[in-house]
């Protein structure tokens, strides 16, 4: 079976290396966020979820790393098929745009989850869905992230288009949102235990 050329280095690149490749002012916003207080330690220690995926110490980092890797491969598909050039200009996006959305999509989790003395995941700081959205909004504003309208749309719909937003014949979810939803879903539902320490 014929396969696309692969770059093995992409499969082993760390999250920090992926973030270092992000272009534009959002690279500086990420650096400011990571350098603030205990943020870096929280990112490095946090699980990816309570139990559904990447539920181990450092799981958040592995989930994020996977989304960046998957995004790079899917972005190649967009370029190979020339799909990006076919999209309306206001719906086009860069790989960096997608990776910034993925960095932000679960940014509250390192501030929600922790571990007990036996290493079990626990909720240290419960947040409702609305509180999680407000937390993300606060991070974006405080650290100076700049989101285009299509990036904002992607952050809204990264987990899919809600029933309340569905209109027959309509399309609330733009291409970048769909792209980010796929990368998140593949990591969380297909690579859910990949990278777990042995």
Question: What confidence score (pLDDT) does residue 1 get?
Answer: 39
Domain membership of residue 7 (yes or no) is no
- In whole angstroms, give the CA distance from residue 10 to residue 50: 27
Total domains, the chain: 1
pTM value is: 0.92
Contact indicator for 26, 145 with CB cutoff of 8 Å = yes
Reported as a single tens digit per residue, the pLDDT across 13-28 is 999 999 999 999 999 9
Question: What confidence score (pLDDT) does residue 135 get?
Answer: 97
Reported as a single tens digit per residue, the pLDDT across 74-93 is 999 999 999 999 999 999 99
Domain membership of residue 3 (yes or no) is no
Confidence of residue 10 (pLDDT cuts 50, 70, 90): confident
User: From the CA atom positions of the chain, what is the Rg in Å?
Assistant: 17
115: pLDDT strictly greater than 70: yes
Domain membership of residue 73 (yes or no) is yes
8: pLDDT strictly greater than 70: no
Reported as a single tens digit per residue, the pLDDT across 121-151 is 999 999 999 999 999 999 999 999 999 999 9
What lies within 8 Å, CB to CB, of 8 at 6+ separation is: none
Domain membership of residue 18 (yes or no) is no
Contact indicator for 15, 64 with CB cutoff of 8 Å = yes
Confidence of residue 108 (pLDDT cuts 50, 70, 90): very high
Domain membership of residue 29 (yes or no) is yes
Q: Which of 6-15, 36-45, 100-109 has the lowest mean pLDDT?
A: 6-15
Domain membership of residue 2 (yes or no) is no
Question: What confidence score (pLDDT) does residue 2 get?
Answer: 46
- What share of the chain in percent tops pLDDT 90? 82
Confidence of residue 168 (pLDDT cuts 50, 70, 90): confident
Task: Tell me the residue range of the domain where 118 lies.
Answer: 24-189
187: pLDDT strictly greater than 80: yes
Domain membership of residue 117 (yes or no) is yes
- What φ, ψ does residue 88 adopt, rounded to 5°? -55, 150
The per-residue DSSP string of the chain comes to: -------HHHHH--HHHHHHT--SHHHHHHHHHHHSTTHHHHHHH--SSSSSS--STTHHHHHHHHHHHHHHHHHHHHHHTTHHHHS-GGG---HHHHHHHHHHHTTTGGGTEEE-TTS-EEESS---HHHHHHHHHHHHHHHT----HHHHHHHHHTT---GGG--TT---S-HHHHHHHHHHHHHHHTSTTTT---
Domain membership of residue 13 (yes or no) is no
- In whole angstroms, give the CA distance from residue 153 to residue 150: 5
């Amino acid at each position: 079976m014929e396969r696309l050329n692969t770059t093995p280095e992409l499969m082993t690149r760390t999250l920090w290396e992926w973030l270092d490749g992000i272009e534009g002012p959002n690279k500086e916003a990420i650096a400011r966020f990571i350098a603030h207080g205990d943020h870096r330690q929280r990112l490095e220690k946090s699980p990816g979820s309570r139990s559904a995926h990447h539920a181990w110490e450092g799981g958040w980092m592995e989930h994020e790393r996977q989304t960046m890797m998957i995004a790079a491969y899917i972005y190649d598909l967009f370029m190979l098929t020339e799909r990006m050039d076919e999209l309306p200009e206001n719906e086009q996006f860069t790989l960096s745009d997608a990776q910034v959305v993925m960095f932000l999509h679960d940014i509250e989790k390192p501030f929600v989850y922790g571990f007990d003395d036996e290493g079990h995941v626990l909720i240290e700081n419960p947040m409702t869905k609305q509180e999680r959205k407000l937390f993300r909004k606060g991070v974006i504003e405080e650290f100076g992230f700049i989101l285009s309208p299509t990036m904002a749309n992607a952050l809204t719909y990264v987990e899919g288009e809600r029933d309340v937003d569905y209109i027959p014949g309509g399309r609330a979810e733009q291409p970048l949102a769909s792209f980010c939803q796929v990368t998140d879903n593949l990591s969380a539902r297909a690579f859910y235990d990949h990278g777990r320490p042995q």
